[in-house]
Copies of this chain bind each other. A is one copy, B any other.
Amino acid sequence: DCETHNGEGFDSPAVDALLTDLAKVNNSRDRANRLFQWLIHPVQDKSFFRDNWEKKPILIQRQNPDYYKGFFSTAEFDRILRKDNVQYGVNLDVTSYTDGKRETHNPPGRALPYTVWDFYESGCSLRMLNPQAFSSTVWQVLSILQEKFGSMAGANVYLTPAGTQGFAPHYDDIEAFILQLEGKKHWRLYNPRSKDEVLPLVSSPNFSQNEIGQPIMDVVLEAGDLLYFPRGFIHQGDCLPDAHSLHVTVSSFQRNSWGDLLLKLMPAALEIAMEEDVEFRKGLPLDYLQFMGVQNSEKEDPRRDKFIAHVEGLMKKLVSFAPVDAAVDQKARVFLHDCLPPVLSAEEKASSVYGAPARWGDGEALDVTVQLKGQTQIRLVRAGAARLCGDGETVSLFYTTENSRVYHKEESKSIEMKAEHIDAMEFLIHSYPKFISVASLPCETMEAKMSLAELLFEKGLIHTAE
């Protein structure tokens, strides 16, 4: 009972046009919603999240080979190999799956087109691991989508020769959106094999064909089509004899479960409980080792029942010490570190520190004047570009703008907030997408307002109206 939407030949804009349009959207969260709507078009957001997200696969056939035009292409793949330092094993994998045997063929060193196409011609598949580092379009699309997901959005590009298969059947630990860019590909999907593999926390090993049962979906994706499936669904794709395939898999929601939040929350809750409630600090019974533990687990002993009941009582009591917001902030900090930096539009650059008119000319620095005044209108460059997080005793502002296009190449970036700036920072964050004047920041002194605005401006976190 997996759905198939036959989107009629919708006259979609090329990706360039789409991004131009999206740049005009004032609020980055609206922009993320609209990009996601385009991704699953013509399915509606509401029905997708009700029926499919984390539940079951969906195929969207659009009969529009140009739907993703401008997103990525094999020609761009070739250009990147020529122009950029693509390293085998780091940025590119050469793989094959023949007669049930999955192999990786990466030589050491840089992947130059001369050798890459040689592998391809001999039937190997190519997987580019972080196209966002090389393609500005992929970077831009993912940086918008991450605001939709509230979780890192990644991508891999797969190029497969006609008549071959590059990977063994397996399942992943992420929600997967497969965008067929060129050619076509035959996909088979299978249900999770057991309850324990529904929404799994880690990816599977490679399966052999006899471990995975019967497919629940057996389709051919053509250029312009979309295939979504949740983590845990086993999948394999192979090329028909008559066409190669290029697709990009957009992914998200890796280790973004309630349990992952509890992994941050429980130690903090227990630490607080032990500090605040003497019941947690009281000693264990002197004789507990005599009736508890594996060697006593089959004993009938009323002391066991009492001991276990006491433990359970304390566990339940932990609820009242759970610092949920602080735990969310721990997840948020990781997310902001995972984020791609935003792609600023020309207007955004011009109205931020990147476009500040300080320039060099005639042997001196020109126009080096502070431009922020009380009446200057400011806002964050993106809804999600900065976030106040509790950090032990202090409050820090974490931000994404100095992240790298290469995953975690930069350390997590943050500024410790002065007490006098915290309320104003919160006000500024919540005012988004509205511009507010520097003077309206809720600080006690004009000096504090200006120093916060200067700080944020210099870090590229805000831009001005006009």
With A259-B273, A325-B294, A332-B289 known to touch, is A109 a contact of B363 (CB < 8 Å)?
no
A294 smallest CB distance to B (angstroms): 4
Residue A118 is within 8 A (CB to CB) of chain B in the complex? yes
Residue A316 is within 8 A (CB to CB) of chain B in the complex? yes
Find the residue from A113, A388, A402 having the highest chain B CB count within 10 A: A113
- Contact yes or no, B109 A402, CB < 8 A: yes
- Contact yes or no, A288 B328, CB < 8 A: yes
Interchain CB contact (< 8 A) of A388 among B280, B294, B359 = B294
Chain A residues touching B, range: 35 or more
Of all chain B residues, the one with the shortest Cβ separation from A276 is B196
With A54-B283, A258-B280, A286-B150 known to touch, is A387 a contact of B295 (CB < 8 Å)?
yes
With A110-B402, A244-B363, A289-B150 known to touch, is A314 a contact of B262 (CB < 8 Å)?
yes
Stretch of A75-83, A97-105, A130-138, A212-220 on the interface side: A75-83
Stretch of A17-25, A59-67, A197-205, A438-446 on the interface side: A197-205
- Contact yes or no, A150 B77, CB < 8 A: no
In the bound assembly, the distance between CA atoms of A281 and B263 in angstroms comes to 12
Interface residues of A in 361-394 (CB under 8 A from B): 361, 363-365, 368, 384, 387-390
In the bound assembly, the distance between CA atoms of A368 and B113 in angstroms comes to 9
- Contact yes or no, B262 A358, CB < 8 A: no
- Contact yes or no, B395 A294, CB < 8 A: yes
- Contact yes or no, A286 B109, CB < 8 A: no
Interface residues of A in 268-324 (CB under 8 A from B): 269-270, 273-276, 278-290, 292-297, 307-308, 310-312, 314-316, 318-319, 322, 324
Copies in the complex: 4
In the bound assembly, the distance between CA atoms of A256 and B116 in angstroms comes to 40
Residue A56 is within 8 A (CB to CB) of chain B in the complex? no
With A109-B402, A318-B315, A319-B312 known to touch, is A259 a contact of B286 (CB < 8 Å)?
no
- Contact yes or no, A259 B274, CB < 8 A: yes
Residue A121 is within 8 A (CB to CB) of chain B in the complex? yes
A85 smallest CB distance to B (angstroms): 8
Given contacts A113-B358, A150-B284, A262-B315, 9 further A-B contacts (CB under 8 A): A198-B278, A199-B282, A199-B283, A257-B281, A258-B283, A265-B311, A266-B315, A293-B328, A311-B322
- Show 13 residue pairs from A and B whose CB-CB distance is below 8 angstroms, ordered by the A residue: A109-B459, A112-B354, A113-B358, A115-B458, A116-B358, A257-B280, A258-B279, A259-B274, A259-B281, A269-B315, A294-B326, A294-B395, A308-B324
